[in-house]
Amino acid sequence: MTRSKGPFPAPPLGSLLDRYLLKLFSRVFCATLVGIILLHLVGDVFNRVDNLMGSNATLSTSVWYFIYRLPLLVSRGVGFAALFAAFLTLGSLSRRHELVAIGACGVSVHRITAPLLLAALGISFATFFWNETAVPFSTGKAKHIYDVQVHQKKLRSVFGSEQIWMRSNGDFIRADDFDTDRNRLRGLVIYRMTPEFRLDGLIETPAADWNGNHWVPNGGTEWLLLEHGGVSRRSLGAALPLDEGPDDFRIFARSPDEFSYFELSARIDDLRDKGVDTVRDAVNLHTKVAIPLVTPLTILLAVALAAKPGRKDNLVLNFGLTVAIGFSYWVLLGFCVSLGKAGAMPPWLSAWLPNLLVGSLSLYLYTGSE
């Protein structure tokens, strides 16, 4: 008579089961990521082709522009590809009744989830490293090609890369940053020069906003150097003596994608020391970490939905769920980020609240999926 030995022990990490699951997941992930990149690239080409042809850009310039756009497209497609790969991997196991066989051997859904979560964490860290290295460099190159080589915008005497430096009618302008959303110059200093190229005065203001006709200072001071060596000080008027408009400064503005996490952190410290508002930069800083780390949470949600008993595998349904989850997250993130940049929500909360909500929903569904 054969004696029953009870349920099989759970296999250790790195077992044949884990390698099998990761093989399926990796295949779908890579194929999906390539497909997403191609779709993004085709859409990008159609959106830009009129501008490129209208500006008589050469074929070489156009090709290099889209090549430099690729790292950013990869970064934006990773989360969607990982989520769809999780749905499809578990769906294929369910379709071939392999989930039932694995469960009959005493292996729980939680144990099946382990290699997928480890893969998701690896993807998150790889995405963060990718965003720190390849994305800022390539995004800056693509912007330079589009603004300077395609639209023939002149850099107008740029003397520094961390700040904006330009010459205007004999004077020199320095600004810490230009906010393209608000048309606001931050940390603005105007060096007034004489025709003999001698410093004649200085204008300082923490911020200046474009009202459609001229720049309006947000407080500040004008310093005048007197002939006898003294200094005169007076408050600024309703308009600054600047002939340049927002389009002249837009070419120097760096988007959040052009900064690494540590560059943006150092920038925030520098602007804060100068008394410049850094709320918008702080929101962008937190999102640089929050977005990559949402991948394990969405995969946990995919496991909870895909491993649900009685669920039938369907490619269209898997794709629909992926789009619904991904779209909902980005809409929620966009809403929270807008509140954070407007000052209605702390910067850290505006970036992490979508992750907290997705994580809470994922854990709730996942704990009941066994």
| Domain locations in the chain as residue ranges | 16-152+280-367, 164-250
The three-point CA angle 292-294-298 to 5° equals 135
Question: What integer pLDDT is reported at residue 365 of this predicted model?
Answer: 85
Residue 368 to residues 107, 151, 305, 339: CA-CA distances in angstroms? 16, 56, 10, 33
Question: What integer pLDDT is reported at residue 1 of this predicted model?
Answer: 41
Q: Give the number of residues written for the chain.
A: 370
| DSSP E strands, 254-358 | none
Q: What is the pLDDT along the chain (370 residues), one digit of tens a residue?
A: 444 444 556 677 767 888 999 999 999 999 999 999 999 999 888 888 777 777 777 888 888 999 999 999 999 999 999 999 998 888 888 777 777 777 777 777 778 888 999 999 999 999 999 999 999 999 989 888 887 777 666 655 554 456 788 887 778 888 888 888 888 888 889 898 887 778 888 889 888 999 888 899 888 888 888 777 678 888 887 888 888 888 888 777 788 898 999 999 998 988 888 777 889 999 999 999 999 999 999 999 888 887 765 556 666 777 888 889 999 999 999 999 999 999 999 999 999 999 999 999 998 888 865 5
> Are 294 and 358 a contacting pair, CB within 8 Å?
yes
Per the confidence metrics, is the pTM higher than 0.75?
yes
Classified as helix, coil or strand, 170 is coil
Question: What integer pLDDT is reported at residue 74 of this predicted model?
Answer: 94
Give the phi and the psi of residue 68 in degrees, each rounded to 5.
Answer: -70, -20
What are the residues whose beta carbons fall under 8 Å from the beta carbon of 198, sequence distance 6 or more? Answer: none
Alpha-carbon distance 86 to 69, whole Å?
27
What are the residues whose beta carbons fall under 8 Å from the beta carbon of 213, sequence distance 6 or more? Answer: none
Question: What integer pLDDT is reported at residue 356 of this predicted model?
Answer: 96
Radius of gyration of the chain (CA): 27
| DSSP E strands, 13-170 | 164-168
Of 80, 53, 125, whose CA–CA distance to 289 is shortest? Answer: 125
Alpha-carbon distance 79 to 316, whole Å?
19
Classified as helix, coil or strand, 164 is strand
